[in-house]
């Protein structure tokens, strides 16, 4: 089993709150990703990082931000949560020289914004 962790697993918060979703991996992978997924739907890449101090926006526009200060840590922050942010957020990591390598996913954070 891949060693990639996400906390919290479930989060219910009110509109306007600032939240940070944590993601850590112990595999030493350079590449990390954040996906947003609604129940039963496809995965949407919202952020990715190919190494420390490197972050890029993904294919789906998102109001969230990320940081990559340490290799193993890739937190995602929402400055002001809204009901439209309700979704599952999946973190993943991969090894390899390109972005096309096998990805290991964390268990996800299910976010509900009231």
Residue pointed to by tokens 């942010």: 85
Q: How far is the CB of 66 from other proteins (least distance, A)?
A: 15
Q: Which residues are CB-contacts of 61 (< 8 A; sequence separation ≥ 6)?
A: none
Site residues (CB under 8 A) for other proteins, limited to 47-66:
48, 59
Q: Exposed, middle or buried, 17 (CB in 10 Å: 0-12/13-18/19+)?
A: middle
Q: How far is the CB of 58 from other proteins (least distance, A)?
A: 8
Residue pointed to by tokens 């090894």: 95
* Residue window 75-94: x/- pattern of binding to other proteins, with contact defined by CB under 8 A: ---------------x-x--
Nearer of residues 55 and 105 to other proteins, judged by Cβ: 105
Nearer of residues 17 and 110 to other proteins, judged by Cβ: 110
Among 60, 99, 112, 114, binds other proteins (CB under 8 A): 99
Gap between the Cα atoms of 48 and 4, Å rounded: 15
């Amino acid at each position: 089993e891949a060693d990639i962790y996400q906390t919290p697993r479930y989060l219910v918060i009110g509109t306007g709150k600032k939240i940070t979703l944590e993601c850590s991996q112990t595999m030493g992978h350079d590449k990390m990703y954040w996906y947003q997924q609604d129940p039963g739907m496809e995965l949407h890449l919202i952020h990715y990082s190919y190494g420390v101090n490197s972050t890029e926006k993904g294919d789906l526009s998102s109001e969230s931000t990320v940081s990559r200060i340490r290799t193993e840590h890739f937190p995602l922050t929402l400055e002001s949560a809204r009901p439209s942010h309700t979704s599952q957020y999946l973190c993943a990591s991969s090894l390899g020289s390109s972005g096309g390598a096998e990805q290991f996913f964390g268990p996800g954070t299910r976010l509900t914004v009231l």
